[in-house]
Chain A
Amino acid sequence: MLERLKQNRIRPRIDIKLVSGILGGLIFFLGAALLLPFFVALFYSEPSWSAFLITAVGSMFLGAVLFFLFKPEEELRMREAFLIVTLAWFVGSLVGAFPFTLSGTLESYTDAVFETMSGLSTTGATILGGLTNEGIQNPDIEALDKSLLFWRSLSHWLGGMGIIVLTLALLPLLGIGGMELYQAEYSGSTSDKLTPRIQETAFLLWTVYVGMTFVQFLLLWLHPSMDWFEAINHAFSTLATGGFSTQNDSITGFNSVYIDVVITIFMFLAGINFALHYRLFTGNTKSFFENREIRFYSLLTILFIVGISGGLWIIDNYSFGDALRYGSFQVLAILTTTGFGTDDYALWMPFTSFLLFLLFFTGGCAGSTGGGIKMIRLMIIAKNVGREFKQILHPQAVLPIRVGNRVIESSILKTILGFFVVYFLIFAAGAVIMSFMGYDFMSAMGASIASLGNIGPAWGDFGPTENYAGVPIIGKWVFLTLMMIGRLELFTVLVIFTPWFWKN
């Protein structure tokens, strides 16, 4: 014990060796994941197989070298965990971008990184099919190799539940400090760990995730308008609340009520805490249906569906059926931060499109694959506002904030308020940068929130039928940083850029 403490004292504040070692393990794992699209390429005998093989073998080799060079044996500390998770996501995007450029599909490496980060962070914003600022015409989505389409969806699916959570579930190599890494990546509360051991919890979460993906795949595949390849891709994309489709027109291309309904339902499910899904499947219906966040989420969903479908029906003159179909699909696509589209909301009347704009500031439940501010935070902030009013009337009253029977402690409340403030500051900063690049008000604001909230489609120049190809290179890097910050829930990334992080 004493020796341990002594060792810890000699250790530098940030143990670069340890960080590199664990990072090596993660890169190795990502390389292994890249073998999947390689097999798809072989299956369809596409020329891009070599790109995948080179990237996969290269990153596996690099990862293995790093891992065995700095065998991580020390105990991981929170600082290092933040650094590892942030770097893992960033390096993961850099590595995952190689197949796009190596196969010659994308000329610009920036575009490739943008597409990969957009995939991993489950944003779903694309640069495909557009003309870039530098005058390069990116290919249409339909023109892409199937293996590349598969890689896009797979990146969603891996990023949805989290690369780290997946690695934890499958490989015991992160056994040491797994909890710290998990905390730094997972959006849910660590108090809803399902089992005493974090590895087992991660495994169960992934099991539920895989199971639900499989069910959706079957349901989509049953419909004649989707082949199995499209069904897999869309199941990946939906469960991860990503938004990449195999078609330029997103889900509109299938033009099927059945597919719209299946995807709508699964978007809704993907916006719910997966730990609660697990409880539901294991028969604990009470903790699922009595969960306040789920109730709030359902209530919000219903309210917005009523508002927007009603608006579409009455103001936009849709038929009742169409209003309900397109209204509810768009509501869930934005609310859960998936970003699929079946209708161009940019053409809606002001009332309906404004209601939808509000949804850009929501997000799924904590512990779901959705991004954004998340239900629980909105709920607590709303309750806090109510409390402030009550406090004015009773200055000396002690007014706790409750979610169900749980009392939210003031330290948690402070963190949430801090999150809220920082979230809007970053959103504003993103919008300012975009407006500096000459984008109009709605485009700048929409693109900033759509990236930070991991939604994808935005407004104006980035509307549901547009893409991000035309953004200058710097702008693309800004966006992909926003996506990463949003996916890792701000603090994990931001804390690294504070001076305190590097100081003793």
Chain B
Amino acid sequence: MKILIAGAGEVGYELGKVLSQEHHDVTILDQRQSCLQRVIQNLDVLTVEGNATSPHSLVEGGANSADLMIAVTSVDEVNIIASMMAKRLGVKSVIARVRNDELSQADSPLSPSELGIDVLIHPEQAAAAEIHLLVKRASASDVVSLADDRLQMVGLRIEPDSKIADQPLSELAKQFDELEARVLAISRRGRTLIPHGDTQLKAMDHAFFITKTENVKNLINLTGHDSSALRRVMIAGGSDVGRLLAKRLSADSYKWQIKLIEPDKEIATEIANSNRNILVLNGNPTDPNLLVVEGIQEMDAFISVTDDEESNIISCLMAKHLEVKKTVALVSKTQYVPLSQTIGIDAIVNVKASASDEIHRQIRQGMMLTVKALQGIKAEIIEVVAGRNCKMLNTPVRDLDLPDGAVLGGILHNGHVEIAVGSSVIRQGDRVIVLALPHAIEKIDKLF
């Protein structure tokens, strides 16, 4: 696939890296020489120096023949204009990052498609949404909402006193019959396992369950966690993610008590002015004194989303030390992800990963609805529609020859969800949830 990426910033760079590794022909367009230099030195892509709003540069970047353009410059307006032009130049599909969400609202006078944009992405918003789900599910490390939020996939650590530890999964299925849930993957000491009927859950395993949304609470109790809801949340850092998260939380019907710490006086004032139910503190989020004065020890959750990822990890560790129930850190360096989970941070959120999730979904096109890379294990969760040519229709799941490294999680049939068991059957038009290791993704795609 020929892909043109406008903007060689953080997200553009990361996408170029991922997509070139997946054997796409990537061209990156940017007007900053220094950014392109880094791209040339590290990635196997073509670079074009020029402004994304210049038709000439777009043509030079191959907009005439590209299958996909991804506009991820730092300016919304540039992305919009680049998208409009690229569409005219013949790019088949266009993804643009637009941070202003007014455009995607129903009352907007211009719809994204009128601007030539097929998919709007907003990675910071996606990351904020992810954290939002995480604080709602206090003890989960990952929460992925599937099938219109009727199913949820949650990552949970098995506590030593859990009732389900050290028993084969087939036993558990009989024992907890009414709790429809399925273990899709287990991360044990850094390795990813796809479980079978006789696999046992060990204490300190990280297990990924799929279940109906209403059952998540019971499931969390079973793994030895307290499912009680969080209430007091402290957000360190008022950058885009922090601000969007604060906004989401305060718009929730649930009464969160939110404190947000932002070092920049102007940003702090702006956030305080635009959000009614948030206590905004103007101070350094890594200053232990401030954290203690503002009662970090009484917090249920501590979310560190400053631009400085090292300090995010440190302040989360400090919060953990003060027995905050849930800590979430914004970490972009992939090398840090496994590390931070072993030292006890409950969840990691990665803006770049959110962006590439959204783009992946578009590239793998066709029938895929949700693609989500899981943190800590090398697997993706995919929601896909079974088309007419699907090779697995009308056969019980136990007789299917699924590729190695893929598990069926759930099926949404005519608005009715079920957790996939041996006797389940996929019919045409069903939405199927699959967890797949990277090497199996391609095969799964073909099967549907």
Residue ID in chain B nearest A408 by CB atoms = B273
A-B interface pairs (CB < 8 A), number = 30
What residues on B are CB-neighbors of A402 within 8 Å?
276
Hey, what's the 0/1 contact readout for B281-304 against A, CB within 8 Å counting as 1?
A: 111000000100110000000000
Cα distance A398–B290 in the bound complex, in angstroms: 14
Check A398–B294 contact: CB distance below 8 A.
no
The answer to the question of B268 belonging to the interface, with a C-beta cut-off of 8 Å to chain A, is yes
Instruction: Tell me how far the C-beta of A38 lies from the nearest C-beta in chain B, rounded to whole angstroms.
Output: 55
Check A396–B272 contact: CB distance below 8 A.
no
Residue ID in chain A nearest B269 by CB atoms = A398
Chain B interface, number of residues (Cβ within 8 angstroms): 15
Check A400–B269 contact: CB distance below 8 A.
yes
The answer to the question of A10 belonging to the interface, with a C-beta cut-off of 8 Å to chain B, is no
The answer to the question of B173 belonging to the interface, with a C-beta cut-off of 8 Å to chain A, is no
Check A400–B273 contact: CB distance below 8 A.
yes
Interface size class of A (residues with CB under 8 A): under 10
Check B276–A398 contact: CB distance below 8 A.
no
Specify which of B265, B268, B280, B290 lies most central, judged by the most chain A CB atoms within 10 Å of its CB: B280
What residues on A are CB-neighbors of B447 within 8 Å?
none
Cα distance A398–B279 in the bound complex, in angstroms: 7
What residues on B are CB-neighbors of A394 within 8 Å?
279, 281, 294
Check A400–B272 contact: CB distance below 8 A.
yes
Check A397–B269 contact: CB distance below 8 A.
no
User: Which one, B265, B273, B276, B280, contacts A397 given CB within 8 A?
Assistant: B280
What residues on B are CB-neighbors of A398 within 8 Å?
265, 268-269, 271-272, 280-282
Cα distance A407–B282 in the bound complex, in angstroms: 18
What residues on A are CB-neighbors of B293 within 8 Å?
395-396
Instruction: Tell me how far the C-beta of A139 lies from the nearest C-beta in chain B, rounded to whole angstroms.
Output: 59
The answer to the question of A399 belonging to the interface, with a C-beta cut-off of 8 Å to chain B, is yes
Check B281–A396 contact: CB distance below 8 A.
yes
Check B276–A396 contact: CB distance below 8 A.
no
Cα distance A401–B293 in the bound complex, in angstroms: 23
Cα distance A398–B276 in the bound complex, in angstroms: 12
Residue ID in chain B nearest A399 by CB atoms = B272
What residues on A are CB-neighbors of B280 within 8 Å?
397-399
Cα distance A153–B281 in the bound complex, in angstroms: 55
Q: Identify which of residues 358-387 in chain A touch chain B, using a CB-to-CB cut-off of 8 Å.
A: none
Cα distance A394–B265 in the bound complex, in angstroms: 15
Check A396–B269 contact: CB distance below 8 A.
no
21 A–B contacts, CB within 8 A, in A order: A394-B279, A394-B294, A396-B283, A396-B290, A396-B293, A396-B294, A397-B279, A398-B265, A398-B268, A398-B269, A398-B271, A398-B272, A398-B280, A398-B281, A399-B272, A399-B279, A399-B280, A400-B269, A400-B272, A400-B273, A407-B273
B contact residues vs A (CB 8 Å cutoff) = 265, 268-269, 271-273, 276, 279-283, 290, 293-294
A contact residues vs B (CB 8 Å cutoff) = 394-400, 402, 407
A394-B294, A398-B272, A398-B282 known; 14 new pairs, CB 8 Å cut-off, are: A394-B279, A396-B282, A396-B283, A396-B290, A396-B294, A397-B282, A398-B268, A398-B271, A398-B280, A398-B281, A399-B272, A399-B280, A400-B269, A407-B273
Q: Shortest 7 CB-CB distances between A and B: which pairs?
A: A398-B272, A407-B273, A398-B280, A396-B283, A398-B268, A396-B281, A400-B273
